[in-house]
Amino acid sequence: MAYFKETSDKELFSLIKNGDHKAYTELYNRYSPVLYAHILRRLNDREEAKDIIHELFSYIWVNRLKIEIEGHLSGYLYTAVRNRVIKVISRRIVATKHVDMHRPSPYNNIASDYLIRENQLRDLIEKEIELLPPRMQEIFLLSRKKFLTHREIAYELNISELTVKKQVANAIKVLRTKLDLIVNVFFFVFFL
């Protein structure tokens, strides 16, 4: 297993696609502790966190030939975990609503409001990203959605790394300026 310690995530996933169980074990050992801690912080439930880790890595092994990862493997894993955590929270909200159907609880409303506001904020951010100049938008999305490094983006678009760095910084600056007011309003309304 010491061999795999030096293996990049990309090479490791390529080996997994070819059915290498030792590479799969290395992937599990490399990422499960940090993903588990991340899930546990969100859900505060050890068993649920273990279940999500087990389900995620089982899914990866079973579907390894179908999975296409654009960008970094760590980004894929964190996105997969985030989506599973959101499902668990949604199920909890639904289950709580069924149990407490006749007894309204302020905690359910807070969780629901939080998810609604989070979705609204995400939509606003997406709309603001769409308003960026086309090249800046393309570079920003490659950086933030596909988790490519500045070097990878520069290579893919045949531009300098410095140009990529400046475009990402400018995009963040533009978005921060435009979204600052919106975010402040969201937080103000949320904490009323």
Q: Are 43 and 85 in contact (CB under 8 A)?
A: yes
Beta-carbon-side half-sphere exposure of residue 139 (alpha carbons within 13 Å) = 26
Give the Cα separation of 37 and 30 in Å (integer): 13
- SS3 annotation, the chain: CHHHHCCCHHHHHHHHHCCCHHHHHHHHHHHHHHHHHHHHHHHCCHHHHHHHHHHHHHHHHHCCCCCCCCCCHHHHHHHHHHHHHHHHHHHHHHHHHHHCCCCCCHHHHHHHHHHHHHHHHHHHHHHHHHCCCHHHHHHHHHHHCCCCCHHHHHHHHCCCHHHHHHHHHHHHHHHHHHHHHHHHHHHHHHCC
Residue 166: CB atoms within 10 Å: 14
Supply the pLDDT for residue 2: 58
Indicate yes or no: pTM above 0.85. no
Say what the pLDDT of residue 134 is: 92
Task: Out of 2.30.30.100, 1.10.10.10, 3.40.1170.60, 3.40.50.720, select the CATH number for domain 114-192.
Answer: 1.10.10.10
Query: Do residues 117 and 186 touch, judged by C-beta distance below 8 A?
Result: yes
Structure tokens at 71: 């960008």
- From first to last of the 192 residues of the chain, give the pLDDT tens digit: 557 778 888 899 999 999 999 999 999 999 999 999 989 888 888 999 999 999 999 999 999 999 888 888 888 998 899 988 888 888 888 877 666 555 555 555 556 666 777 777 778 778 888 888 999 999 988 888 888 889 989 999 999 999 999 998 998 888 888 777 666 665 555 444
What is the CATH number assigned to the segment(s) 1-103? 1.10.1740.10
Q: Taking the domains of the chain in order of start, what are their residue ranges? A: 1-103, 114-192
